[in-house]
Amino acid sequence: MFDVSFIPAFKDNYIWLLTRGDRAFVVDPGDAEPVLRRLAADRLSLEGILITHHHADHQGGVAELKKRFPVEVFAPEAESITGCTRPLRGGESIAVLGQQVSVMAVPGHTLGHLAYHAPGRLFCGDTLFGAGCGRLFEGTPAQMAASLDSIAALPDDTLIYCAHEYTEMNLRFALAVEPENPALLQRVGKVAAQRAAGLPSVPSTLGEEKATNPFLRCAEAAVIAAGMRHAGFAENAATAAIVPSRTEIFAAIRSWRNSF
């Protein structure tokens, strides 16, 4: 089993560092410099790079890292990724530091977005965040909702390694959706203490996300009611013969979050 730690980058990005002995992989190195500093400090040899999607803050450091290390670059086939040597579509199994990692197609934020699942760990880029999910820059609500469903099907103790420190901001929105959710209220206090102490709020567990993240709770009565109110058809909620689908509720919640 490899170890996982983070390398901070830009304002709020996390580049995940996977290590086993003196061997290393990195996930979404948007900036090469902090990665190179960490590799040198810990005397690590970079063997591979995992890319979730094409945005610059996730792949911008690949070219520089490849100048220093003859690495494999695993990345979405459907997107333009600098230096990609192993194009992936989802459904593959790849070897990472001696461990098998499953590749998941999770379109929504971008059309070719991938996540990498090792037992007990998910590296999901900008698909799922602490208490939130990524914006739909390229995909549809149906695609993102299906991607989140595939993540939700993993074991509840799976650690969610997302790519940004967005949890506190996302929790403020989650409280607007479910102000009386006790698990959510408890998480707000926990994350506030973590951030005040200078600690990251991630990884979280999938079980915690399913209890507090509105985008994984679109079948819950309180989230349905909030989504219907935001979409403007709560007036007919009591008598409506057709209840909005989970995808429609997701779309309403995501639209609300965009302008929150």
Reported as a single tens digit per residue, the pLDDT across 52-74 is 999 999 999 999 999 999 999 99
Query: Catalytic annotation on 117?
Result: no
**What is the per-residue DSSP string for 196-239?**
HTT-----EEHHHHHHH-GGG-TTSHHHHHHHHHHHT-GGGTTT
- The mean pLDDT value of the chain amounts to 95
Q: Is the dihedral of CA 42, 44, 46, 51 positive or negative?
A: negative
Place of tokens 């998941």: 104
Nearest alpha-carbon partner for 184 in 126, 123, 226, 134: 226
Active-site residue among 57, 113, 117, 230? 57
Q: Length of the chain in residues, anyone?
A: 260
Q: pLDDT (tens digit, 9 = 90+) per residue, 150-166?
A: 999 999 999 999 999 99
pLDDT score for 55 = 98
To the nearest whole percent, how much of the chain has pLDDT over 70? 96
Q: What pLDDT score was predicted for residue 109?
A: 98
Mean pLDDT of 214-228: 95
Q: Is 54 annotated in the active site?
A: no
Given a contact cutoff of 8 angstroms between Cβ atoms, the answer to whether 44 and 38 are in contact is yes
Q: What does the pLDDT look like over 112-139, one tens digit per residue?
A: 999 999 999 999 999 999 999 999 999 9
Looking from the CA of 132 toward its CB, the CA atoms found within 13 Å total 30
Does the active-site annotation cover 57? yes
Residues 3-212: name the CATH superfamily: Ribonuclease Z/Hydroxyacylglutathione hydrolase-like (3.60.15.10)
Res 230: pLDDT: 87
Active site residue 31: no
Q: In the chain, which ranges are E strands?
A: 3-9, 13-20, 23-27, 45-50, 72-76, 86-88, 93-96, 99-105, 114-118, 121-125, 128-129, 132-133, 159-162, 204-205
Q: Which of 28, 31, 54, 109 is catalytic?
A: 109
Q: Which of 28, 54, 55, 230 is catalytic?
A: 55
| Residues 6 or more apart in contact with residue 17 via CB below 8 angstroms | 4, 5, 6, 7, 24, 25, 26, 35, 38
pLDDT-based confidence at residue 148 (cuts at 50, 70, 90) = very high
Distant-in-sequence, close-in-space partners of 105: CB < 8 Å, separation ≥ 6 = 89, 90, 91, 112, 113, 114, 147
99 three-class SS: strand
Q: Which of 28, 54, 58, 117 is catalytic?
A: 58
Q: Higher pLDDT residue, 233 or 63?
A: 63
Q: Is the pLDDT of residue 89 over 80?
A: yes
Query: In this predicted model, which residue has the larger pLDDT, 234 or 19?
Result: 19
| Active-site position among 28, 31, 54, 126 | 126
Active-site option among 54, 113, 164, 230: 164
The band of 253, judged by pLDDT with boundaries at 50, 70 and 90, is very high
pLDDT score for 243: 73
Helix (H) or strand (E) holding 259: none
Give me the pLDDT at residue 241, please.
Answer: 53
Residue 234 has a pLDDT of 54
Q: How far is the C-alpha of 190 from the C-alpha of 188, rounded, in Å?
A: 6
Phi, psi (rounded to 5 degrees) for 121: -145, 140
113 flagged as catalytic: no
Q: Which one from 53, 54, 113, 117 is the annotated catalytic residue?
A: 53
Higher pLDDT: 190 or 82? It is 190
Q: How confident is the model at residue 77 (pLDDT cuts 50, 70, 90)?
A: very high
